[in-house]
Amino acid sequence: MKKLNIALVGCGFMGRTHSNAFRKVTNFFDTPYQPVLKRICARNGEKAKTFADRWGFESVETDWRKLIDDKDVDLIDIASPNDTHAEIAIAAAKAGKMVMCEKPLGRNPTESEAMVKAVEDAKVANMVWYNYRRVPAVTLAKQLIDEGRLGRIFHYRTVFLQDWTISSDLPQGGEGLWRLDASIAGSGVTGDLLAHNIDTALWLNGGIEEVTAMTETFIKTRKHSLTGKEEPVKIDDASAFLARFKNGSLATFEATRYARGHKALYTFEINGEKASIIWDLHDLHRLQYFDHNDVSKLRGWRSIHVTDTEHPYMKHWWVPGLQIGYEHTFIHQVADFLTDLGGGKSASPTFREALATDYVTAAVLESAASKTWVKVR
Ligand code: SOE
């Protein structure tokens, strides 16, 4: 197995999910490459050192620019806040490094387009971490749709609900809370949560033609962790939109961080002419399936426990009936990346595919501001 030397930028929540995936992937999957945790990079050297000791990185950097000329680094993985994605990815690609990037790709389509151009000009392998595609039940949904089992699709219905920003005492800016600072994050729940719903939807149901949206910022000012001052909140706290897909189906999308009681309720339902499916992140190993072709007296919703060896990814894990969870979606993503790299291509979603999601989020924000229907680029 060839070695693939990884430099990871960022040691927050996403840095942990990625490191865990790189460490475990070859324990469970036969891949042509073995990831090596070469460098961890974070501005806070102490934190990076603790992270390196815990996850087994060989050495620490505090300036990502040092990674760019590092001959011992093959791939730069970006898990730092959104305002750093474009600069690091572009520099890494120009230096001939492979690039992986946490979602969303850029803060806006202008940044994302420049990132796509950089990896395509340099012809380097690239991928964006839209991990929920790799939940086995979601991948099974994709297979069922592609096999034509749902027939013509009429409806796509999806939400991503959280409640962690309801308190007005929560500051904006700083570790984790940079998600509330529009200058760092780019947008609020539209880019952070709806981007997941959109990525999955584009994958399962094809392109979106047009959207009409509304957004709201419920708490208008918050103390900024870095300045200590009360400052305007410029992100969207909640975002909902109607969409028309290119295949003629209609959709509703909603995301919020103000749905008291919900921590990460990501669900989608798809209604087709012949069958329907429902998936719920809180019960992620199950796929609800209704097939109108069943004999009428037996017709009803089936709850498929997606843990059998013939289900996507599952033969690599335990024995049928024993489920897996959130961390495994990242492991699957690395496994696919390494396998596709061996085959000379980039795993999906590539930067270019993730740009399509950014075009939808941009249209959503534009529609909310203009209160009109907006065509998606
Ligand atoms: C926000 O709370 C967040 O952590 C997102 O940033 C992730 O992308 C999502 O998977 C879970 O929620």
Residue 124 token pair: 């380097």
Residue 327: partners with Cβ closer than 8 Å, 6 or more residues away: 17, 20, 21
| Domain extent listing, the chain | 2-131, 132-347+354-375
Ligand 1 binding pocket mutation candidate from 80, 192, 199, 326 (most atoms within 8 A of CB): 192
Ligand 1 binding pocket mutation candidate from 164, 184, 193 (most atoms within 8 A of CB): 193
Integer angstrom CA distances of residue 354 from 31, 104, 267, 351, 358: 24, 8, 20, 5, 7
How far does residue 193's CA lie from ligand 1's centre (Å)?
Answer: 6
Distance CA 355, CA 109 (A): 7
Task: Kindly give the number of the ligand 1 atom that is closest to the alpha carbon of 257.
Answer: 2
Beginning with the edge strand found earlier in the chain, give each strand of the sheet holding 33-41 in spatial order. 59-61, 33-41, 2-9, 75-78, 98-102, 126-129
pTM: predicted TM-score of the whole model, two decimal places: 0.98
How far does residue 14's CA lie from ligand 1's centre (Å)?
Answer: 9
The vertex-186 CA angle with 42 and 9, nearest 5°, equals 15
Q: DSSP code of 286?
A: E
* Average pLDDT of the residues in 283-304: 98
Q: Are 246 and 203 a contacting pair, CB within 8 Å?
A: no
How far does residue 174's CA lie from ligand 1's centre (Å)?
Answer: 16
The superfamily CATH assigns to domain 132-347+354-375 is Dihydrodipicolinate Reductase; domain 2 (3.30.360.10)
Largest CA distance in the chain: 67
* Residue nearest atom 6 of ligand 1, based on CA coordinates: 192
Task: Kindly give the number of the ligand 1 atom that is closest to the alpha carbon of 132.
Answer: 10
* Average pLDDT of the residues in 222-235: 97
Read off the pLDDT band of 153 (50, 70, 90). very high
Structural domain 2-131, CATH architecture: 3-Layer(aba) Sandwich (3.40)
How far does residue 263's CA lie from ligand 1's centre (Å)?
Answer: 10
pLDDT in tens, 166-188: 999 999 999 889 999 999 999 99
How far does residue 89's CA lie from ligand 1's centre (Å)?
Answer: 21
The total of other beta-carbon atoms located within 10 Å of residue 67's CB is: 22
Q: Is 132-347+354-375 in the same CATH topology as 2-131? A: no
How far does residue 192's CA lie from ligand 1's centre (Å)?
Answer: 6
Residue 297: partners with Cβ closer than 8 Å, 6 or more residues away: none
> How confident is the model at residue 206, as a pLDDT?
98
How far does residue 149's CA lie from ligand 1's centre (Å)?
Answer: 31
* Average pLDDT of the residues in 118-123: 98
Ligand 1: list residues with CB < 6 Å.
Answer: 162, 192, 264
Give, to the nearest 10 degrees, the angle between helix 85-94 and helix 109-122: 10
> How confident is the model at residue 160, as a pLDDT?
99
Distance CA 135, CA 141 (A): 10
Distance CA 352, CA 25 (A): 25
* Residue nearest atom 10 of ligand 1, based on CA coordinates: 193
Amino acid at position 29, single letter: F
DSSP for 72-83?
T-SEEEE-S-GG
> How confident is the model at residue 50, as a pLDDT?
98
